[in-house]
Structure 1
Amino acid sequence: MAIPPNPDARFHIEVIKLLLQVATSDDRVTREEIDQIIDTARGFSVSLTELSALTRCLQEGKPLPPPNLGLLSDNPKAVIDAVHSLIAGDGQVDEAEIEMMRQIRELLGIAP
């Protein structure tokens, strides 16, 4: 019998997927953003296999897999904190990033 996946691990992978979406929202990904995402993934103990599969999409110019908003809505504060850290991490806040944060808050049911 297969062991069901750890719900926290699934949640963390979905956060990383969302962070990659945010990082690419302004059509450029900075080294600081990549470093922040990698640090977050390590802090969440996201497997190297999962992280490599996601970053390969960026390297090959393929569409990123969409995050599962149902899972993300289980802990919206953690999601918003991770997104805020990413956006603020490079010292530049782009209009597209602000709009992405607004949309994420709306999708997660968080009032502005």
Structure 2
Amino acid sequence: MVTPSNPDSHFHIEVIKLLLQVATSDDRVTREEIEQIIDTARGFSVPLSELTALTQCLQEGKPLPPPNVTVLRENPTAVLEAVHALIARDGHIHEAEIEMTRQIRAMLGVTP
């Protein structure tokens, strides 16, 4: 994947990477979660080539690229909003997703 020169685009791609990590945290990815990730990517205007490369990892069972935490710390509110929207989308909140959210908050330096 090519790193985009636009800082907002770079941030948005890192959010999508994180959302994919969250979606797979309970060892299954639902159709609703994929739809939410695609909706978020569209809203962020993430290039289709980037989204395709990331989702291809899921389809092929390859490890997902880790998100850049430094970039995500630039806007923790937007990150957490995207994570909460994803978790709520399928109507099933799993313990693994709750734990992942706790870890994300800690990683971003956000206190409860």
TM-score over 0.5 for the pair: yes
Residue identity matched to 1:77: T
Q: Calculate percent identity across the aligned residue pairs.
A: 76
Aligned equivalent of 2:69? 69
User: What's the TM-score, normalizing by structure 1?
Assistant: 0.96
Shift of 1:6: 0.3
In structure 2, stretches of 5+ residues that fail to align are none
In structure 1, stretches of 5+ residues that fail to align are none
Return the alpha-carbon distance in structure 2 between the equivalents of residues 80 and 35 of structure 1.
18
User: What's the TM-score, normalizing by structure 2?
Assistant: 0.96
Please tell me whether residue 9 in structure 1 is matched to residue 9 in structure 2. Answer: yes
Aligned equivalent of 1:36? 36
Shift of 1:58: 0.1
- 3-state SS of 1:67 partner: coil
Residue identity matched to 1:87: I
Aligned equivalent of 2:107? 107
Shift of 1:98: 0.1
Aligned equivalent of 1:97? 97
Shift of 1:24: 0.1
User: How large is the Cα RMSD of the aligned pairs?
Assistant: 0.7
Shift of 1:21: 0.1
1:85-111 deviation per Cα after TM superposition (whole angstroms, max 9, x unaligned): 000111110000000000000000000
- 3-state SS of 1:71 partner: helix
1:50-77 deviation per Cα after TM superposition (whole angstroms, max 9, x unaligned): 0000000000000000000000000000
